[in-house]
Structure 1
Amino acid sequence: MDSKPQNGATAGQALLAAAMLLPGVGAVHAETPPERASIGFKYLYYKEDQPGLDRVRVHAPAVSVLAPVAGDWSLGASATVDDVSGASPRYHTAVSGASRMKDLRKAGDITVTRYLSRGTLSASAAYSTEHDYVSRALSLQATLASEDKNTTWSFGVGGSDDSINPVNRIVQGAGRQTVSVLAGATRVLTPLDVAQFTLTHSRGHGYYSDPYKLADERPGQRRLDTALLQWNHRYAAQGATSRLSYRFYRDSFGIRAHTLGAEWVQGLAGGWSLTPGIRLYTQRAANFYFDPVYDSLLGAPFPTGYVFGSGRASSADQRLAAFGAAALSLKVAKQVNRDWAVDVRLERYQQRSAWRLFGSGSPGLAPMRAVNLQFGVTRQW
């Protein structure tokens, strides 16, 4: 299957980013251990399709726990199972008869945190496995608050080690290793405004090609950088908070991407809250991505002049193409009582070549649509 990270974060990068990004709502302060233990359950349903093609479906139940330990420590852990099925594009938007896929991914992580007078120290580990893919990740994180507690700096380093063994045996025992570093700052600007800026740099080497696609040969090294700016403003009279974000991404494959996000968190009577959101995305194609113009002798999907085993980087993977996308979401949450909370979130996503900003999109790509439905329940004691 082709569900492995290609132009997104690796497991190590995702673990590091999730551990380090601060909520950014309310006052910045030296974090304290959780007063109560909690357990949460979430269920995710994801479905994507293209015109005339029902592509991927994912069912993913997950459970997480967080507990205070020995006063100044906390222990957190989570586990999830992703049941993936559907049709995977062989190249561009074409699908072969043998492209049906079904896979089961099992993943878990654990984090230990030590709380200090003006900051925290955390260590995290993650592991996930599929029938043809195994990923292991470790990270270390630290936060430090200023004396006036209006600024918190965050730092982190993480690494992942992935093993790839595709069932078609294009490669056997292939690997990929990635190291990521992160630095950021969260600042209280006014009693109602909090801003956060985060930089992440990753460097990896190993096997990046997709073994299930023809004419897919990618460089053996990859560097990527992201810059994330977030700003939250509290509207006290309305009982609401706005969340704005901008993310810039670039990598050594030549991809450049911009993401704008906005959410409005509206508190309501009876413990209810509504959070509508919108996200806009645009991406430039990788340097070695080729559009659907095929070799007259070899046919599809080979680019003109393609030579087997030449080592020339090439890929027709539509995730490396130039396109734009938009997503609309709505979250409904209810604090039932002191111990119980529930939430439901629905997101509709659509991707089109013509929606790319700052340039033309890649031709020949069929529109892609996706729906993401999440349900969660949390219990504290």
Structure 2
Amino acid sequence: MAETAPEQGVIAIKQLSYQDWQPGLQRVHVNAPSIYALAPLDAHWSLEGSFVRDGVSGASPRHHSAISSASHMDDQRHAGDLKLTHYDDRQAWAIGGAWSNEHDYKSRTLSAEWRLSSEDNNRTWNIGLARSNDSIGSSDDDTLHEHRGTWQLLAGVTQAVSALDLVQLNLGANWGRGYFSDPYKFPDIRPRSRNQYTALLRWNHHIEPLQATLRTSWRFYDDSFGVRAHTLEAAWVQPLGERWSVTPTLRYTTQSAARFYKDPVYDPVLGEPFPPGFDGQHPTSADQRLSAFGALTGGLRVDWRVDAQWKLDLNYERYEQRSGWRAGGNGSPGLATFSARWWQFGLSRSF
């Protein structure tokens, strides 16, 4: 179909509840209500935006899986975005902005994107560019006033291969300069630049006899820290009558460790948490998010179209991370297992 402005407006609210834990320890809990609105302005323009308020509490490891009293937190984040889109017969362009505020972190982003469809509307090209500027502080260190700037580029193509198959390829790159260390983890000294590259391939196949759609994707990630990751995902969208649908999802992720990530082996003189040869200058991190691991996520989403205007959805996902689940083995040793779950409830109305 040709590129056209939306004919109806939408207002949607979401409620997210997230919890993660390790054996014997309830870690981080997030409660995040949000609202989204889309409004067509005329036949060629639309305006959309969202706002979210995160309440974060709990404790996060300062190094590897160890908790200290300094790592306990109770914080709030307010974030929002706004985008204005113009539609022509075969193309659309948009400009947008986003912001995020915490007591120790502020982020501002400006973005632009453009889409162009072929004459038969079976192929769409897209490109986007964004610039983010972040300010970083610390509740534990009043003298910390750092900054980070990032350019983000995304380009891709979506192709209708047949009446039943849709394929998409997106390539992304981020170039960041500034402060990348985590002020709440110790020891944590990271390079002052980080380049990140992604490739995302999606294939949606409609199965006519079942009126179902299989959604599959593969995502490759690589960065200048040395982290390399693959993510495979499959989702089955099954309508149940005219108003209901269920979508089970399964996702697998495997990643390598950053070059400067240190396993939980400590200097014989300095002791825990310092790695052997620690000098306070060279890149060093004990953040398990930079370790080598594998992870599985299973989920189920239920959608209910109440009537022509109202929709409800409920989504549940469970995440399990293990060092031994890394593809090919050789995951980072000595780390406690990590688990998480999240619920999300949504309600939307068209007008």
TM-score, normalization: structure 1? 0.91
Percent of aligned positions with the same letter in both sequences?
50
- Post-superposition shift, 1:124? 1.1
Q: Does the Cα contact within 8 Å between 2:63 and 2:187 map onto a contact in 1?
A: no
1:244 paired with 2:212, answer no
- Post-superposition shift, 1:270? 4.1
SS at match of 1:237: helix
TM-score, normalization: structure 2? 0.99
Matching residue of 1:7: none
Matching residue of 1:97: 69
Q: Does the Cα contact within 8 Å between 1:280 and 1:327 map onto a contact in 2?
A: yes
| Distance (Å, rounded) in 2 between the aligned partners of 1:358 and 1:229 | 22
| Distance (Å, rounded) in 1 between the aligned partners of 2:182 and 2:299 | 31
Code of the residue aligned with 2:81 in structure 1: it is D
- Post-superposition shift, 1:212? 1.4
Q: Does the Cα contact within 8 Å between 2:167 and 2:202 map onto a contact in 1?
A: yes
Code of the residue aligned with 2:215 in structure 1: it is R
1:317 paired with 2:281, answer no
| 1:67-82 equivalence runs, <5 A | 67-82=39-54
1:128 paired with 2:100, answer yes
| 1:368-379 equivalence runs, <5 A | 368-379=338-349
- Post-superposition shift, 1:70? 2.4
Matching residue of 2:171: 199
Change (3 A) 1:42 1:78: same
Q: Does the Cα contact within 8 Å between 1:30 and 1:144 map onto a contact in 2?
A: no
SS at match of 1:301: coil
- Post-superposition shift, 1:30? 3.2
Q: Given the alignment, which residue of 187, 203, 225 partners 1:215?
A: 187
| Distance (Å, rounded) in 1 between the aligned partners of 2:5 and 2:93 | 12
- Post-superposition shift, 1:255? 0.2
Q: Does the Cα contact within 8 Å between 1:62 and 1:79 map onto a contact in 2?
A: yes
Code of the residue aligned with 2:287 in structure 1: it is D
Code of the residue aligned with 2:346 in structure 1: it is G
Q: Does the Cα contact within 8 Å between 1:322 and 1:362 map onto a contact in 2?
A: yes
SS at match of 1:213: coil
Q: Does the Cα contact within 8 Å between 2:4 and 2:43 map onto a contact in 1?
A: no
Matching residue of 1:23: none
| Distance (Å, rounded) in 1 between the aligned partners of 2:261 and 2:224 | 13
Matching residue of 1:299: 271
| 1:1-381 equivalence runs, <5 A | 29-169=1-141, 171-308=143-280, 311-381=281-351
| Distance (Å, rounded) in 2 between the aligned partners of 1:157 and 1:339 | 34
| Distance (Å, rounded) in 2 between the aligned partners of 1:98 and 1:284 | 29
For structure 2, list consecutive stretches of 5 or more residues without a partner in the other structure.
Answer: none
| Distance (Å, rounded) in 1 between the aligned partners of 2:114 and 2:253 | 30
Q: Alignment length, in residue pairs?
A: 351
Q: Does the Cα contact within 8 Å between 2:153 and 2:173 map onto a contact in 1?
A: yes
| Distance (Å, rounded) in 2 between the aligned partners of 1:152 and 1:236 | 24
Matching residue of 1:20: none
